[in-house]
Amino acid sequence: MIVNEFIPKPYSHLLENGAVAYSAPSNIALVKYWGKKAHQIPANPSISFTLNNCKTSTTLKFKKKTTDGFSFDVFLEGDLQTDFKPKIEQFFKRIEVYIPFLTAYHFTIETSNTFPHSSGIASSASGMSALALCLVQIEQQLNPTISKEFFNKKASFLARLGSGSACRSIEGDLVVWGAHANIQGSSDLVGIKYPYEVHENFKNYRDTILLVDKGEKQVSSTVGHNLMHNHPFAEPRFAQAHSNMDALMAALKTGDLNAFISIVEREALTLHAMMMSSDPYFILMKPNTLEIINKLWAFRAQTGLHICFTLDAGANVHVLFPDNEAKEIQEFIANELSVHCQNGHFIEDNVGQGAQPIKI
Ligand code: DP6
């Protein structure tokens, strides 16, 4: 795959105005992306479950203009947002060569999340993928010959340039991003649907997100990724991600839940270990993050149930478990873990099938 395939031929005509809309999910990485090169190229491959309930819906209205440069307004839940503008402006700059009509229109971006904005759940993956999908939908109106396959590929390619993990939010249910020797079709440029057999144990896997800290992140992911340059453990970490991917592939095939747990928890703790050993170092876990992890381990030892956790770049805990153990584990979460959440809040989610167009 080469980047040039995403540069379109000149359009025969431009529409005067219009509107498109897409809903895109969040995703939770099992093998983590942490560290990147220029142009949003990941330092190692990652794989994630696409979520079902945590989503961003975006309507993109466009109207022809005659002025130069980018012109857009962003609304979140109906309110004009100026703090999102720099990130979107940077996104537009990165993708202008692939979406030449970006300067031809004034855009109104109306977006809303199913999860509260102040939940500490990153909306960049679902937000950037929804916006990328809207842009490709406009491109499809200008060039109706675009195939479904190319549509998804280009949306993932663009989303990656908005936020790396966003390229894993186009399709479901497991998505790989980053070239890996043993995964056919894997690429640093786009996320692809995991191409191999997955055991029944991983169907409709559950993810309950425990909202430990709803505040803004103290350290952005972008800053964290950059701290992997010159990190003393960077090279062994990147190599470990490749071998963890191999081990996870074996577990996904055979349905080995214990192997899955061991890889996923090690990945989460390694991610945070990288943060704790960078220069400057930082800690994103909170006391309640550790309380939850310790209680979860004790419950797993006591019951033999296949509950485990993963973490993103924050204090919230994603509790993962198989569908057929959901009843007991959900009771445990409500009775024992929710007390460690801010205002007792948690979000029940499960693995989903990817983004959907919205009829407008
Ligand atoms: C810890 O995708 O938010 O969630 O590319 O700079 O926008 P940028 O970073 P981002 O990083 C997410 C990192 C992670 C792990 C993961 O999702 O793989």
> Is 205 touching ligand 1 by the criterion CB < 6 Å?
no
Query: Angle, to 10 degrees, between the axis of helix 124-142 and the axis of helix 148-162?
Result: 140
Q: Are strands 206-210 and 79-80 parallel, antiparallel or unpaired?
A: unpaired
> Is 208 touching ligand 1 by the criterion CB < 6 Å?
no
pLDDT for residue 116 = 76
Q: How many CB atoms lie within 10 A of CB 324?
A: 11
Beta-carbon contacts of 84 under 8 Å, excluding residues fewer than 6 positions away, are 74, 76
> Is 91 touching ligand 1 by the criterion CB < 6 Å?
no
Given a contact cutoff of 8 angstroms between Cβ atoms, the answer to whether 49 and 27 are in contact is yes
Given a contact cutoff of 8 angstroms between Cβ atoms, the answer to whether 36 and 231 are in contact is no
Ligand 1 centroid to residue 34 C-alpha, Å: 7
Rounded-to-integer distance, Cα 133 and Cα 25, Å: 12
Rounded-to-integer distance, Cα 312 and Cα 285, Å: 10
**Mind listing the pLDDT tens digit for each residue in 36-90?**
999 999 999 999 999 999 999 999 999 999 999 999 999 999 999 998 899 999 9
Count CA within 13 A, CB hemisphere, residue 335. 7
**CATH number of the domain to which 126 belongs:** 3.30.230.10
Site to substitute for ligand 1 among 170, 225, 226, 248, most atoms within 8 A of C-beta? 225
Rounded-to-integer distance, Cα 140 and Cα 348, Å: 35
Rounded-to-integer distance, Cα 141 and Cα 145, Å: 9
> Mean pLDDT score of the chain, rounded to an integer?
95
Rounded-to-integer distance, Cα 26 and Cα 53, Å: 8
pLDDT for residue 120 = 67
Mean pLDDT along residues 332-353: 97
Count CA within 13 A, CB hemisphere, residue 29. 31
Given a contact cutoff of 8 angstroms between Cβ atoms, the answer to whether 201 and 63 are in contact is no
Number of separate domains in the chain: 1
Using the predicted structure, report yes or no on whether residue 209 has a pLDDT greater than 90.
yes
Ligand 1 centroid to residue 296 C-alpha, Å: 25
**Mind listing the pLDDT tens digit for each residue in 217-250?**
678 888 999 999 999 999 999 999 999 999 999 9
Whole-number Cα distances in Å, 283 to 134, 216, 233: 36, 14, 17
Rounded-to-integer distance, Cα 164 and Cα 161, Å: 6
Count CA within 13 A, CB hemisphere, residue 97. 8
**Mind listing the pLDDT tens digit for each residue in 14-30?**
999 999 999 999 999 99
Question: What number does the ligand 1 atom closest to the CA of 128 have?
Answer: 7
- Per the structure, the complete domain to which residue 213 belongs is given by 1-360
